[in-house]
């Protein structure tokens, strides 16, 4: 008895198509199972080092000393350079070599320095100016944002109430999102907070970005998770948290994070001050949209405590990039 011709084209052709189909399925499965590999730059706050890691080409990896205390913020500023903030200003490093190319150090706090009186965030602008955010900088008290030109001269100053700030991010609307310990605050150019969201279990919260749908994504610091809030300040999604990750992660302090183009979130799981935390926890984590960990990186022999992360996959390091629409992307030319 002959075989049944499901294709209507003869058994020979049907068999060939079946083989092609099976081969395609096997190839697709193999690609899907391939491990994620990233190219990234990380701030090791514990050892005050800057790392470039290329998991696809490890021969290009480098580690260099930042040379300044409390390096916290980072940004692609064009010309194959990375901008790194520090306690008194900022530096720029060549991404290919790790060489320090620029060093600006004249923005020490107005009062005797404490853990919070310092520059905490730096953001390069399309016109070449740099925004510096911090506490008690530029001769003023409070949460201060300075607009500094390429020659280091202060062109504008905004002062907000408060005594704590970590990273600052601009929104597409031109406002400033700042993490102020237990609350996310959004400020305007007149020094006024126009939106404020205290978030339960946030402690020394680190960073927030505004998403195109109006939601806000923020890292909780000592809360050890990332929260997505709607405009009414309700948490609509939570990523990480001690109750959701394996104990080996040692979910300690979620610091800098990055929303990738595919919807995944990569976050630095900081482990503490000082040079001896390399074997404490998994320090870089990638969560998919469901909250599952799909990639991780931690090298005890190289690091102590990672606080900053910038994934370079597919990004154009020749131009200025920012997160005004949630993901890292080129910034249009303008003032």
Does residue 224 lie within any of the structural domains? yes
Question: Which residues share a beta bridge with 75?
Answer: 83
Q: Please, are residues 322 and 65 in contact by the beta-carbon 8 Å criterion? A: no
Token pair belonging to 103:
């060093």
Query: Among 237, 243, 230, 242, which residue's Cα sits nearest to residue 265?
Result: 237
- Into how many domains does the chain fold? 1
**DSSP letter, residue 59:** G
Task: Give the pLDDT score at 136.
Answer: 87
Does residue 12 lie within any of the structural domains? no
Q: Specify the residue for token string 């990055």.
A: 258
Measuring CA to CA, how many Å separate 246 from each of 45, 242, 243, 282, 294? 24, 8, 8, 10, 13
Does residue 220 lie within any of the structural domains? yes
d(CA 142, CA 335): 26
Q: Please, are residues 327 and 169 in contact by the beta-carbon 8 Å criterion? A: no
Does residue 10 lie within any of the structural domains? no
Does residue 19 lie within any of the structural domains? no
Q: What's the CATH number where 213 sits?
A: 2.120.10.30
Does residue 26 lie within any of the structural domains? no
Does residue 241 lie within any of the structural domains? yes
Does residue 273 lie within any of the structural domains? yes
**pLDDT tens over the chain, length 335 residues:** 444 343 444 545 555 555 555 555 555 554 556 899 999 999 999 999 999 999 999 999 999 999 999 999 999 999 999 999 999 899 999 999 999 999 999 887 655 555 567 899 999 999 999 999 999 899 899 999 999 999 889 999 999 999 999 999 999 999 999 999 999 999 999 999 999 999 999 999 999 999 999 999 999 999 999 999 999 999 999 999 988 999 999 999 999 999 999 999 999 999 999 999 999 999 999 999 999 999 999 999 999 999 999 999 999 999 999 999 999 999 987 65
Task: Give the pLDDT score at 19.
Answer: 54
Token pair belonging to 97:
């070599």
**Domain that includes residue 299, residue range:** 40-330
């Amino acid at each position: 008895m002959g075989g049944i011709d499901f294709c209507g084209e003869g058994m020979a052709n049907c068999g060939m198509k079946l083989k092609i189909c099976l081969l395609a399925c096997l190839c697709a499965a193999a690609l899907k199972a391939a491990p994620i590999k990233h190219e990234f730059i990380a701030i090791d706050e514990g050892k005050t080092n800057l790392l470039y890691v290329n998991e696809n080409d490890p021969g290009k990896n480098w580690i260099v000393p930042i040379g300044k205390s409390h390096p916290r913020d980072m940004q692609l500023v064009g010309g194959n350079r990375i901008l790194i903030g520090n306690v008194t200003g900022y530096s720029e490093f060549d991404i290919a070599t790790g060489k320090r190319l620029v060093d600006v150090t004249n923005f020490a706090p107005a009062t005797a320095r404490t853990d919070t009186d310092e520059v905490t965030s730096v953001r390069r602008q399309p016109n070449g100016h740099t925004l510096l955010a911090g506490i008690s900088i530029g001769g003023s008290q409070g949460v201060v944002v300075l607009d500094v030109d390429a020659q280091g001269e202060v062109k504008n100053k905004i002062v907000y109430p408060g005594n704590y700030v970590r990273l600052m991010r601009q929104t597409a609307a031109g406002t400033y999102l700042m993490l102020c310990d237990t609350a996310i605050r959004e400020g305007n150019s007149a020094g006024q907070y126009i939106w404020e969201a205290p978030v339960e279990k946030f402690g020394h919260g680190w960073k927030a970005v505004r998403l195109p749908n109006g939601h806000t994504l923020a890292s909780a610091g000592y809360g050890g998770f990332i929260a997505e809030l709607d405009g009414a300040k309700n948490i609509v999604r939570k990523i990480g948290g001690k109750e959701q990750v394996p104990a080996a992660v040692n979910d300690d302090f979620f610091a800098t994070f990055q929303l990738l183009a595919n919807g995944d979130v990569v976050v630095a799981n900081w482990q503490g001050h000082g040079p001896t935390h390399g074997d404490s926890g998994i320090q870089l984590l990638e969560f998919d949209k469901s909250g599952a960990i799909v990639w991780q990186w931690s090298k005890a022999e190289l690091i102590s405590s990672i606080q900053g992360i910038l994934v370079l996959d597919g990004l154009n390091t020749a131009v200025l990039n920012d997160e005004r629409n949630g993901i890292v992307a080129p910034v249009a030319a303008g003032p």
